Structure 1
Amino acid sequence: MNKSILASAALAALVSTTMVPVSEAAAKEKCYGVAKAGQNDCGNLAGTHSCAGQSKVDNDPGEWKLVAKGTCVDLGGMLKAEAKKKYKASKKA
């Protein structure tokens, strides 16, 4: 009986902690070109790293941060499609 109660409590805790980030993530979007050096959220378009905090320069167009949905352009950034176009164009030049 105690194991059942513990399992139920653990499941409830797990569900409550995983549900909040999912809803928060839905209200955010990747914004390229606004991350300060060392403050990117994950891997870059170039594929030179795959971890947060590894950007080397401020406002690199290949680095991104999560921002509130709908605010990226206002912050001076780009959404992924535009950032990819810029990245590909810079590679051809």
Structure 2
Amino acid sequence: MKKTTNIALATAVTGLIALAGTTLTTTTAVAAEEKEKCYGVVKAGKNDCATKTSSCAGTSKTDGQKDAFVMVPKGLCDRLVGSSKEAK
């Protein structure tokens, strides 16, 4: 009976690990699809990518720089003061 219990426990743990891996993969894929660029709300030096006036991420010069963006959850950009979905 002890061997049966160990096999059942090992099977249950393996199943939970597989389920957690599947959930993590699915969550990551969904999260990546539900983001959008939000321009004009980034703090200086916190932008996600290059702009017209800076060469790479983290190099925006001023707070609220109109051509600097940050990735936010879809729908949030519309709620932020001074934000835009397009560079200006």
What is the TM-score of this pair, normalised by structure 1? 0.59
Alignment length (residue pairs): 64
- Structure 2 residue 37 is matched with structure 1 residue 30: yes
Match of 2:60 among 36, 50, 55: 55
**2:85 matched to 1:79?**
yes
Aligned-partner residue type, residue 34 of structure 1: V
Show CA shifts across 1:24-71 (max 9, x none): 221110000010001000111x2x334210001000110000111011
Shift of 1:23: 2.6
Counterpart of 1:38, as a letter, is: G
Extract unaligned runs of 5+ from structure 1. Answer: 1-12, 88-93
Cα separation, 2, equivalents of 1:50 and 1:29: 21
Percent of aligned pairs with the same residue? 45
Larger Rg: 2
CA distance in 1, matches of 2:63, 2:79: 17
CA distance in 2, matches of 1:50, 1:32: 16
The amino acid across from 1:56 in the alignment is K
Does the residue aligned with 1:43 lie in a helix, a strand or coil? Answer: coil
* Structural RMSD (CA): 2.1
Unaligned runs of 5+ in 2: 1-20
Between Structure 1 and Structure 2, the one with more helix by share is 1
